[in-house]
Structure 1
């Protein structure tokens, strides 16, 4: 039984190059920085969708902490144009892992890219 007001709120990932990551998610998905907060020896950067105050993605930078292996988590984003977002990802230092492909039984086009730190990002466009 879910309690009123409880819901999934955001995803937090550990990153190495926080500025490259902020630039990537801004250029590729239009996320904007809402807050930069100290976090021990590092910082947290809270990114939100344009026009929203609630966090979508939090980048945690701790310079002396090892990052998890890329692929440990997959970040999923619904986008208007997968092809355009894939091109933006390449231009922002990302790598295409799976080129856009139509999945007719699901009514979507999907692609996967890696951000500059190697985190896997799945892009989904509804048909």
Structure 2
């Protein structure tokens, strides 16, 4: 039996990634887990993954577009780790959601990712460990 989906992270768009990471570290005791720059051109993003010492490994990710304006404050990305990203994408569509960015396998990083939207247009990132 496969593991059920797990709420894994929330992403917020920021202009100054260093200042925002420092804020959440100072105020909420978050610690830096990882830094990534992924994508190309207008889709390239830089992100800092912050986590707590609670042991549940849920994360707050501050990220910014490298070549694009930051969306208005208040928009976030919900993230779920799933056992089968392709099956989850199908379920999203069956439940009235849409695919924003098709599945991309990032073998060098060890995961596959897709971005989908719920019926009201909220962005959700779904990931599967490879």
Q: TM-score, normalised by structure 2?
A: 0.47
Q: TM-score, normalised by structure 1?
A: 0.48
